[in-house]
């Protein structure tokens, strides 16, 4: 400990006063802390987590993050916590039925309308009057629903790997199986046709699909495996939302919009292209070395693109 102290003293003694001030300022600006709690909703509890900078920079509005699935909790979005180091708060919450939130086992409770109301409740409880809204996959679908509900205070939308039609997504994703070995395709189709998707053989075959089109990192980051260890079961997968389609309403979106997706994404470029064409003025960044999780697969560039977009929106905000 003593030698470490002398090293620090020596380092600063060799620096100019200006350099010391700059380094101390950077340390201060990147310091963050977390606040966690619960919000009452429909007789249940919604868990939230806020990452706050020690010094919030004036004019930097909070980023509210919506996880995907449906039913895959916030944990895999962990790299977005780093956004707080730029001087803005970052908020996460686990949607009802998964993660750290209550998990009522009433399948009739869950619907898209429920999660729209939940989002409104979270914003009101946390006094999020003006926000940038980030949604990943299904979370992006929910963000679009929120925007189309004429929600106020929506400064920008960031849609990561988000389709405008779940049916189109399912068709495109199923077509990606043609890139897998023939025997793997046969196993997947066989078990899906027979309704035996809990089979170890099916799960092993789907691993190859997931490592190709969901997250190409091997091994998967701990935050992603943690999220999948806490998935919900009552409102899980696309079956519950297969008929969701807002393609003919995209023109109604007026908030500045950033689209982010991967070249190998299960939400294919064809899906994201529809969103890009439908939302006037939307920007689209395609990550060439990523699949469905560019925030994990190309984290540094992802965060840079996101920060530049947020800065640009705020710089041009009335």
- Cite the active site residues: 137, 265, 292
- Tell me the C-alpha distance between 34 and 91, whole Å: 10
* DSSP reduced 3-state for 34: strand
Torsion-angle region of 315 (φ positive above 0: left; ψ -120 to 50: alpha; else: beta): alpha
First to last CA, the chain: 52
Closest by CA to 316, choosing from 286, 285, 281, is 281
Estimate the share of the chain in helix, then strand, then coil, as percent rounded to the nearest 5: 50, 15, 35
- Tell me the C-alpha distance between 166 and 153, whole Å: 27
**Contact criterion met (CB below 8 Å) for 229 and 196:** no
Return the exposure string of 228-240: e unless at least 16 CB atoms fall within 10 Å of the residue's CB, then b: eebbbebbbbbeb
- For 30, residues 6+ apart whose C-beta sits below 8 A from its C-beta are 53, 85
Closest by CA to 148, choosing from 268, 26, 278, is 278
């Amino acid at each position: 400990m003593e030698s470490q102290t002398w090293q620090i003293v020596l380092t600063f003694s060799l620096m100019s006063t200006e350099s010391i001030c700059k380094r101390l300022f950077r340390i201060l600006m990147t310091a963050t802390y977390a606040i966690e709690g619960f919000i009452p909703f429909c007789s249940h509890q919604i868990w939230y987590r806020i990452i706050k900078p020690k010094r919030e920079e004036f004019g930097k509005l909070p980023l509210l993050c919506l996880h995907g699935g449906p039913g895959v909790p916030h944990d895999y979005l962990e790299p977005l916590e780093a956004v707080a180091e730029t001087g803005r708060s970052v908020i996460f919450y686990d949607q009802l039925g998964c993660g750290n939130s209550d998990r009522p086992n009433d399948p009739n409770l869950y619907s898209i309308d429920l999660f729209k109301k939940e989002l409104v409740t979270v914003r009101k409880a946390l006094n999020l009057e003006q926000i940038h809204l980030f949604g990943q996959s299904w979370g992006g679908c929910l963000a679009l629903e929120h925007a189309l509900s004429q929600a106020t205070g929506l400064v920008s939308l960031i849609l990561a790997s988000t389709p405008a039609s779940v049916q189109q997504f399912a068709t495109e994703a199923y077509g990606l199986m043609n890139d897998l070995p023939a025997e793997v395709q046969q196993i997947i189709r066989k078990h899906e046709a027979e309704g035996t998707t809990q089979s170890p053989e099916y799960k092993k075959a789907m691993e190859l699909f997931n490592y190709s089109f969901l997250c190409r990192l091997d091994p998967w980051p701990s935050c992603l495996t943690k999220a999948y260890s806490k998935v919900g079961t009552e409102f899980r997968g696309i079956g519950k939302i297969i008929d969701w389609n807002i393609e003919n309403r995209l023109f109604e979106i007026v908030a500045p919009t950033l689209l982010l997706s991967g070249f190998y994404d299960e939400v294919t470029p064809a899906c994201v292209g529809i969103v890009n064409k439908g939302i006037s003025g939307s920007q689209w960044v395609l990550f060439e070395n990523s699949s469905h999780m560019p925030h994990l697969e190309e984290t540094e560039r992802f965060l840079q693109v996101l920060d530049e977009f947020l800065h640009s929106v705020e710089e041009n905000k009335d």
